[in-house]
Amino acid sequence: PEPQLAPRAAMAMEIASTPLTGGNPLASPAAKKWAMFTFVMTYVGYAMNHFSRKCYSSTKTLIRDSIGLDAIALSQMDTAFMFMYAIGSIFSGKLGDTFNPAKVEAWGLIWSFVCLLVLLIGVWTSMAPSVAHGVFLVTWLVFGFAQSTGGPCGTTIVGAWFPDKKSRGSLFGFWTTHQYIGNIIAAVVTAIILGQGVTWTWAIIIPAVLNLIDGVAFFSVPATPKEVGIGVDASKPDAAPGSAIGFLDALRIPGVVSYAVAFGGFKLTNYILFFWLPYFLSTNFSPEATQLISTMYDVGMMPGGIIVGYISDLYGGRRACVIATFMAILIPLLFVFAEYSEVMPATVVIIGLLLCGILIGGPNNIITSAVSADLASDPSIGGNTRSLGTVTGIINGSGSIVAAFGLLAVGPLQVHYGWSSVWYLMIGCTLMGTLIMSPTVYKELYHHGAPAAPAPAPTQPRGYQAVRQEDSKA
């Protein structure tokens, strides 16, 4: 038997001997211990994903100098990553439904280690630029797919352990801070390594090893309460009513297409800053200062989703109105960066990036969580509770595809027209996404809560279930 079976058996015995609170198996003390364990492990697992990505983006200039890759080659690596990440966002969830989502995410972490190891081997062996370009492109395709497992699989696991819809928003609002914690830790670790004069490759070695350790540990995570002997609440049948919604049926839900396209523009703006901010800051600041200043963007993104979610709840769920307002404030701020970023003092840059983080992070976080849940519970699908995964996959996958192709333009723009052109690209993306959302904004302002016509029964194969919604009658 596996080493994990002994503690699982002991915990299962404790669960069996513990009286249930209100007839809910997940309310027992032992079940809560397992729930907290899975919450922490999935939180750390997704933080590891961003830790490894951010460490790579923070060392781009050093990789360029060590291997001889130019900005265009680095841009193509970003595009390869995002393209496969977009596809993986859909298929990783399906793998998690077909197999065990905890084990799918475990293998994603292990393969992330392998990809970072290939990058290190290329640096250590002084691989020729022409060879390194091809090898790294293929490696980053694999890296993108491996990294895509964290979101859908982690959300599925947390959703299984925390099914209470009354606290789901707050719970997932806190859980989604994992990505920013990973980014911030990566920037701080990289800054310390560079500031102490240690070989810069340690900034890649550390996340690589931690991904491997966390990947092995993830095999002990129970994907569902049943895996550790916890029963199902008798008042809520285990099987969700009806078959899972198909992609075509999900696209017919009012708002899904517009949000999917708009999110592409918003996500491209986010990922330009995610992948290229340290590279841009390095033109005016020291390597240590670059890493610390770049963390301000992530610091701002952490409360962004909480702020947008709270305000939109305060105004009756009019999330599109709040998102459009945030984007309208962001556009002039991006214009200031486009015109003056190269002469800004460090204090102004820090404040500006903090505000950018709030204004960009809020809409991005809320679209892939609360907005997706709102759309998946639209009356037009007749109460189908197995639609959130497909809706989330369409929106997040569409955003990632747009970001993948958009990132391809960053390198050539920066080389031929300077950094201001990149800021103007972000302005265009933000404006496009906001305009696409304008019909939804109008509907929320003047027809909020209007009933929708029922949609035909879903006929397509199911996508992944990011979170199984509660029965609408509960």
Q: Which of 250-254, 256-260, 287-291, 397-401 has the highest mean pLDDT?
A: 256-260
Q: Is the pLDDT of residue 288 over 70?
A: yes
**Predicted pLDDT at 57:** 76
**Predicted pLDDT at 168:** 62
**Predicted pLDDT at 112:** 92
Q: Does residue 111 or residue 131 have the better pLDDT?
A: 111
Query: pLDDT confidence of 389, banded at 50, 70, 90?
Result: low
**Predicted pLDDT at 20:** 37
Instruction: Write down the pTM of the prediction.
Output: 0.68
Q: Which residues contact 88 (CB under 8 A, 6 or more apart)?
A: 144, 145, 146, 147, 148, 149
Q: Is the pLDDT of residue 470 over 70?
A: no
Q: Which amino acid is at 309?
A: G
Query: pLDDT confidence of 245, banded at 50, 70, 90?
Result: low
Mean pLDDT on 232-252: 58
Q: Which residues pair with 425 in a beta bridge?
A: none
Percentage of residues in the chain having pLDDT higher than 70: 80
**Predicted pLDDT at 128:** 78
Q: Which amino acid is at 298?
A: D
Please give the Cα distance from 65 to 198 (Å, whole number): 16
Average pLDDT, the chain: 78
- 140 burial via Cβ count (<10 Å: 0-12, 13-18, 19+): buried
Please give the Cα distance from 428 to 52 (Å, whole number): 29
Distances (CA, A) of 334 to 16, 147, 292, 307, 338: 57, 29, 20, 20, 6
pLDDT digits (tens, 9 = 90+) for 44-65: 998 888 888 878 877 777 877 7
Query: pLDDT confidence of 230, banded at 50, 70, 90?
Result: confident
Residue (of 216, 211, 219, 214) closest to 103 by Cα position: 219
Q: Does residue 26 or residue 3 have the better pLDDT?
A: 26
Tokens describing residue 189: 């670790």
Q: Which residues pair with 21 in a beta bridge?
A: 24
- How far does Cα 240 stand from its chain's mean position? 26
Please give the Cα distance from 137 to 388 (Å, whole number): 33
Alpha helices in 283-318 (DSSP H): 287-314
Please give the Cα distance from 398 to 414 (Å, whole number): 25
Percentage of residues in the chain having pLDDT higher than 90: 18
Q: Which amino acid is at 199?
A: T
**Predicted pLDDT at 252:** 83
Look at residue 21 and give its three-state secondary structure.
strand
Query: pLDDT confidence of 234, banded at 50, 70, 90?
Result: very low
Alpha helices in 316-407 (DSSP H): 319-340, 346-366, 372-376, 388-407
pLDDT digits (tens, 9 = 90+) for 314-370: 777 788 898 999 999 999 999 999 888 778 888 898 999 999 999 998 888 778 776
pLDDT digits (tens, 9 = 90+) for 138-162: 988 999 999 888 877 887 787 778 7
Query: pLDDT confidence of 169, banded at 50, 70, 90?
Result: low
Return the number of other C-beta atoms located less than 10 Å from residue 48's C-beta.
28
Q: Tokens 């491996």, residue? A: 146
Mean pLDDT on 107-125: 89
Mean pLDDT on 442-459: 62
**Predicted pLDDT at 296:** 86
Mean pLDDT on 254-274: 88
Q: Is the pLDDT of residue 453 over 90?
A: no
Return the number of other C-beta atoms located less than 10 Å from residue 302's C-beta.
20
pLDDT digits (tens, 9 = 90+) for 301-317: 888 878 887 787 777 77
Distances (CA, A) of 140 to 132, 263, 273, 337: 12, 23, 19, 30
